[in-house]
Amino acid sequence: MKIGVVGCAGRMGQMLSRYVLDTDGCELVGGSEKTDAAIGKDIGDIIQREHLGVKVSSTEELFEKADAVIDFTTPKATVSNAVLAAKAGTSLIIGTTGFSKEQQEVIENASKKAVIVQAPNMSIGVNLLFTLVEKIARTLDDSYDIEILEMHHRNKVDAPSGTALGLGKAAAKGRGVELDDVAEKVRNGIIGARAKGEIGFATLRGGDVVGEHSVIFASNGERIEISHKASSREIFVKGALKAALWTRKKHFGLYSMQDVLELS
């Protein structure tokens, strides 16, 4: 399968490129970068491998020659790439988070003409966590307060994280409610007693933490905690590549890692 990587010179892009090269059944056909200065460079030189004869190109050219493109960039860039995917009929794997409602609508429209896999987290372990959180929330009544705690490195720009919001959506789905109706993302000052049924979020930032998430179900007399801790970004790369291979011969549509892992 011909794989392209958006942002191939970045930290995730370099790791993705290496994994594509080392994975049977995959061919790295190109990468793109936002600066014109990078265009034309050999990707092998960028990722400190042997000369590959595979060049950094414009994003438009990348979509024309790839079967699937993997994107861990920014919401603005990813939305533009979704439009390119629809135009070229190329599969798009989205690991980017932090989309506005309007940006998400563009991605959904693009999926009518392309296979798109979008997930707040590409890790297999986190997607199992989504499933477990939904089942636990469905089993427990609202006497159990739900709190979601997440921590990431100091440079992460969106909060709560896309994974935390995904966990919140899983919990809300289990309870049969909409997350927007029950989410409490900011607490400051004299806030009064916790509202029954709300799903709370707490955000921590610091150091080089890859990603840590915990969901707490707290009631009188007991507390249930379920957590996932990432120690390497490799787990996101492996999941994204698995998703790219999964898109082969799939019909146009918007899919999740739950679909890829048959957890839906």
Query: Catalytic: 185?
Result: no
Q: Return the ∠ at Cα 209 (arms to 194 and 261), rounded to 5°.
A: 80
Q: Between 11-22 and 234-246, two packed helices, what is the crossing angle to 10 degrees? A: 60
DSSP-derived 3-state class of residue 160: coil
Catalytic residue among 152, 169, 213, 228: 152
Going by the DSSP 8-state scheme, the letter that residue 222 receives in this structure is: E
The residues that bridge with 215 in the sheet, in sequence order, are 148, 226
| Beta strands 211-219 and 68-71, pairing class | unpaired
| Beta strands 115-118 and 145-152, pairing class | unpaired
Interatomic CA distance for residues 28 and 2, integer angstroms: 6
The residues that bridge with 58 in the sheet, in sequence order, are none
Q: What do you get for the CA distance between the two ends of the chain, in Å?
A: 25
Q: Which of 54, 122, 59, 58 is nearest to 90 (CA)?
A: 59
Token pair of 87, please? 């135009």
Catalytic residue among 2, 41, 87, 156: 156
Query: Catalytic: 156?
Result: yes
Q: Which of 95, 50, 101 is nearest to 71 (CA)?
A: 95
Residues forming the active site: 152, 156
